[in-house]
Amino acid sequence: MIKKLYLRSSVRAASNGDTIENTAKTLKKIPSGNDIRYHLNKINDFEDLERQINQALKSRLPKGIKNGYLKLAIDLNLIPYYGKPSYNELPYIYRSQAKSGTCSFYAYATLYVLMKGKRVTLAIRGVRWIDTSVAIITYLLAELDALHIQVKQLYLDRGFFNVPVIRWLQALDIPLLMPAIKTGKQGGIKQFLKGRKSYKTTYTMTRNGNKNDSVTFELWIVCKYKKGKRHQKGVEYFAYVVHKVKTNLSSIHQDYRKRFGIESSYRLKNICRIRTTNKKPVLRLLFVGISFILVNIWVNLLWLKISRKRKGRRLIYR
């Protein structure tokens, strides 16, 4: 009964984007804010909590996800961290480019389904500072085994553009689509950004200039005319790393835009995330996990209860 009260208060705080303290004042017959925080602070096992959250994410999924052959996306969601990390916090602090006045973040990698009407999060990884990009992807893809899901196509953010990731996914023979980072004044990816027609080529990328540590991949260059968009004219170039993707050159840019559905999941998550100043990594993971679970439940309810069957795809009343 006591656990249910703590769960009730946490879910209520999350669904309203509120704090534990204010929620405790609003609801009747539940423990005080201090009492709730006292018991929440007893949660210390980061790995066990992560495992339980991933089990919960898989427990409420629309039909057609399990045993599916799906398009999936992986991305990092960064939550700003301010101040000097303590000894216990430091292993979970992720360093990245400055954003919102800081270069330090709590980072959460998520695995997301790109299917209309069934856009749910299948797994989450609380990023540790020792995690490599390959380790993050491997952990998330391993979560598919319990659902017997096969990867039809994997969409990655440009943050995963590096030699080990591309080489690893090629070895796994996973269809891959990812933007290439246009670095360097001469050579590199930028040497291909020319002309007025889209085209395909191959490129060999090395790590730290070591020719023995390299990977060769298909590079598709897409030319788009701005046509006065944002008061600009001329040609805009997009470069993509491609591996066994079943699409053509003319539609690959529009195909990759489907990945931005994962950004929508982050916005929804932020609406129903418990507000807190507590810096404890395991509690931060708990609050983020609850918010993703609530979004999954909402997507499932829309599919089951607030929709209508019709020829073709189901009509969902949003």
Q: How far is CA 19 from the centre of its chain?
A: 24
* pLDDT at residue number 93: 94
* pLDDT at residue number 208: 79
pTM for the whole structure? 0.88
Q: Which residues contact 211 (CB under 8 A, 6 or more apart)?
A: none
Q: How far is CA 40 from the centre of its chain?
A: 26
Q: Which residues contact 311 (CB under 8 A, 6 or more apart)?
A: none
39 DSSP assignment: H
- 176-196, pLDDT tens digit by residue? 999 998 876 667 888 888 888
Residue 97 structure tokens: 């480019």
- 247-282, pLDDT tens digit by residue? 888 888 888 888 887 787 788 888 888 888 889 999
Tokens 């040497």 correspond to: 191
Tokens 């959460």 correspond to: 108
**Is residue 230 predicted with pLDDT exceeding 70?**
no
**Is residue 118 predicted with pLDDT exceeding 90?**
no
DSSP SS3 for 131: coil
pLDDT grade, residue 1 (50/70/90)? very low
Of 229 and 132, the one with more pLDDT: 132
178-188 exposure pattern, b = at least 16 Cβ within 10 A, e = fewer: bbbbeeeeeee
Between the alpha carbon of residue 111 and those of residues 75, 76, 122, the distances in Å are 7, 9, 6
Average pLDDT, the chain: 87
pLDDT grade, residue 231 (50/70/90)? low
**Is residue 130 predicted with pLDDT exceeding 90?**
yes
* pLDDT at residue number 5: 62
Alpha helices in 60-107 (DSSP H): none
Work out the average pLDDT over 231-239: 78
**Is residue 100 predicted with pLDDT exceeding 90?**
no
End-to-end, the C-alpha distance of the chain in Å comes to: 35
Q: Choose among 201, 263, 208, 271: nearest CA to 237.
A: 201
